[in-house]
């Protein structure tokens, strides 16, 4: 695994989601803006985990009850 490629992948996705959040918030679409902010922050966290551990970030598993 190329750590820097993975970090760049997650950072690029985060930047795109951040941009969408700004657009949504400018249009007073608060719920949508917050959703994209959440995605941006999650991707930054994944980039950080990848850089620190040298491994792929864990997948988020959602279990159904």
Is the overall model pTM greater than 0.85, yes or no?
Answer: no
pLDDT (tens digit per residue) in 3-57: 999 999 999 999 999 999 999 999 999 999 999 999 999 999 999 999 999 988 8
* 57 backbone dihedrals φ, ψ, rounded to 5°: -65, 150
Torsion of CA 16, 21, 26, 30, to 10 degrees: 170
- Tokens 């951040």 belong to 18
**DSSP tag of 64:** -
């Amino acid at each position: 695994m190329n750590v820097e490629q993975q970090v760049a992948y997650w950072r690029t996705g985060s930047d795109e989601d951040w941009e969408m959040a700004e657009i949504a918030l400018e249009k007073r679409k608060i719920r949508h803006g917050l959703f994209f902010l959440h995605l941006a922050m999650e991707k930054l966290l994944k980039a950080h985990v990848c850089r620190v551990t040298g491994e792929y970030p864990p997948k988020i598993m959602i279990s159904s009850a």
